[in-house]
Amino acid sequence: MIRKIVTIDEARCDGCGQCIPSCAEGALYLENGKAKLAAEKLCDGLGACLGECPQGAIQVIEREADDFDEAAVAKHLAVQGKPAAHAPPAAPPKLHAVPAPQGGCPGSRTLDFADAPPAAPRRRLALVSDAPVPPPLPAAAGSTALQQWPIQLRLVSPMAPYFQGADLLVAADCVPFAYPEFHRDFLAGRRLVVGCPKLDDLDEQFRKLSAIVCSAGVKSVTVLKMAVPCCNGIAAAAKAAVEAAGREIPLTIETIGLRGERM
């Protein structure tokens, strides 16, 4: 079948072995100073190893390959004395397609909030009841620093005017949930794109980031990733995009721990 699977460029591989621990299926090993794929059926094609390779020798491609085999992975790990890998999530149920509104999805419409006044808070309706009135909710600790829409890397247009000469923030999807001061410490004054290096297509992420960086003349790029191996992919895509621009662009990469700490 045609599916995603890793491929290793032996000419670029220096045998450092950093990719091996990141593969939960134990599909990678070293032989004669080069990383090798033990068997096609052991690779899930999700690319957790991509960001661990300092030489960029690993890529995920689509080609004819054996099906991923969870039973074979469990047997392979048992022989190695390693715990079983997490099973991949079940495929979501198929839903009936709903036609998009005329002119495309309204949720993907390009919006620039930079010069727009903040939205007025909605008034809460009072209810007639014999129950005691609860105290008002406390005011929010801060306000949003988001300056544009959309933010998903797959949805943004590289030609959106708000990217022109901007300071670009590239964040892994999980970062805003883990880091409580995301808006104050990172988002303020920057234009945002978010994506998941494990669930999204890394080649597509690189192409979109490269288009933004090269065509919009961004001033700087800041990458926020989580402290998990697969999250290194989004940093690798951003670094490659900056290098492809062919000019000096400050690049900062920060890692957020699973408990919200800056690493």
Domain that holds residue 201: 145-256
Residues 160 and 245 in one domain: yes
Residues 58 and 150 in one domain: no
Residues 67 and 149 in one domain: no
Residues 158 and 238 in one domain: yes
Domain annotation covers residue 125: no
pTM score, two decimals?
0.56
Alpha helices, DSSP H, located in the chain = 70-80, 175-178, 182, 202-216, 232-245
CATH number of the CATH domain containing 150: 3.40.50
Residue ending a domain, among 44, 62, 80, is 80
Residue ending a domain, among 24, 49, 80, is 80
Domain annotation covers residue 228: yes
From the list 239, 204, 174, 202, the residue with the least C-alpha distance to 6 is 202
Q: Residue 142: exposed, middle, or buried by beta-carbon count in 10 A (0-12, 13-18, 19+)?
A: exposed
Confidence (pLDDT) at 195? 94
Confidence (pLDDT) at 200? 83
CATH number of the CATH domain containing 28: 3.30.70.20
What total of structural domains would you count in the chain? 2
CB atoms within 10 A of CB 228: 17
Confidence (pLDDT) at 84? 64
Confidence (pLDDT) at 216? 83
Domain annotation covers residue 12: yes
Domain annotation covers residue 88: no
Confidence (pLDDT) at 23? 85
Confidence (pLDDT) at 193? 96
Average pLDDT by stretches of 10, the chain with 263 residues: 91 85 85 89 84 82 92 84 55 42 55 62 46 48 84 89 94 95 94 90 86 89 92 89 90 94 92
Residue ending a domain, among 57, 80, 103, is 80
Domain annotation covers residue 208: yes
